[in-house]
Structure 1
Amino acid sequence: MEDRLFRDAMGKFATGVTVITTLHEGQPHGMTANAFMSVSLDPKLVVISIGGNARCLSRIKESGIFAVNILAANQQEQSMIFAGQIKEDREVTFETLADIPVIPNALAQVSCDVVTEYIEGDHTLFIGKVRDIRVQDGEPLLFYAGKYRSLETVPV
């Protein structure tokens, strides 16, 4: 099977957009990702998937911490910055949640300690035990078929 067919098929699954952040050598770092899910309620665990070529991979491995920032509909620029789609320098500000850098105004911020990592194919899966969570109301930024999207309310 060709890579393009696989990518096209996976693109048919609408996802939220996250920025995964970490603190490495005293500096915040981040990357855009949509490979995130909850794993367990007791204990509270989540999983992220990071590509083998991503700069954040070694930073998360070394720091042992990460945060998942679920972006709001008005945060497409932040997604594009951390995905490397915006090349010129933009100032990025961070807050902290349980001593881990997070993106201000994200719909949800989930700070985690890495408890396990698995290398599968060309990605590393990090299972994180949740340290703390911050949530706010708003609409999510979505990604579908290679494009950013937003929710539409449909009468029932």
Structure 2
Amino acid sequence: MSLLVPSIDPKELRRAFGMFATGVLIVTTRAGERVHGMTANSFTSVSLDPPLVLICIDHRASIKEALNDHGHYGLSVLSEDQQHLSRHFSSRGKEPLDVTFDELNGLPVVEGALAQFACRITQATDAGDHLIYIAEVIGYRHGPGEPLLYFGGGYKQLHKPQVAEMHA
């Protein structure tokens, strides 16, 4: 007995996937002296022991070759005031933007990001129209702040509840 699968509309499926709120990060690597970067929101912590993470990259992404050649990448979790960086690294015809990078274990990471990770690729798995990169975390740091979020096709921010002031 075979199961009939209804036709799936890719645009509607993308909208449905967009109902899962995610953080926003920049994936970076080097090709020679040049830093390559792209915006991503497909990031998962996989394991604490050993420390592993994964990202998913479209087969058509220009960073893919640099990732495969270098074998390492940096991850920068963006703060709520870094939306301009997300937009910059997600556009194909990138307008010039002066981006300041920190170094973490020799890898470029975005200055001022909430969290930064240096990762060594241990596995790349083909999965449909994407590659899944599993990597060992070889360095990290984090600081205070609020995250930049992505939900329903747009950027969002956490809303902090207002605390009523007590008057004597």
Provide TM-score, normalisation by structure 1: 0.96
Distance 1:70 1:86 in 2: 23
Distance 1:20 1:112 in 2: 10
Deviation at 1:12, TM superposition (A): 0.3
Partner of residue 49 from structure 2, selected from 29, 42, 46 = 42
Partner letter of residue 129 of structure 1? E
Distance 1:153 1:75 in 2: 18
Distance 1:17 1:7 in 2: 17
Identity in percent:
40
CA-atom RMSD in angstroms: 1.4
Match of 1:65 in 2: 72
Partner letter of residue 71 of structure 1? L
- 2:154 counterpart of 1:135: no
- 2:29 counterpart of 1:22: yes
- 2:100 counterpart of 1:93: yes
SS in 2 for 1:73: coil
Distance 2:132 2:85 in 1: 23
> Where has structure 1 moved over 6 Å in runs of 4 or more?
none
Distance 2:94 2:66 in 1: 21
Cα distance change, pair 44–7 in 1 and its aligned pair in 2 (3 A): same
Match of 1:145 in 2: 152
Match of 2:62 in 1: 55
1:82-130 CA distance string (max 9 Å, x none) = 0117842111121110000000000000100000110100000100101
Any unmatched runs of 5+ in structure 1?
Answer: none
Match of 1:118 in 2: 125
Distance 1:85 1:148 in 2: 19
Partner letter of residue 41 of structure 1? L
Distance 1:67 1:117 in 2: 16
Is this contact kept in 2: 1:80–1:86, CA < 8 A? Answer: no
Cα distance change, pair 85–26 in 1 and its aligned pair in 2 (3 A): closer
What is the number of equivalent residue pairs in this alignment? 156
Distance 1:90 1:26 in 2: 17
Partner letter of residue 70 of structure 1? V
Match of 2:4 in 1: none
Match of 1:76 in 2: 83
Deviation at 1:66, TM superposition (A): 0.4
Higher-Rg structure is 2
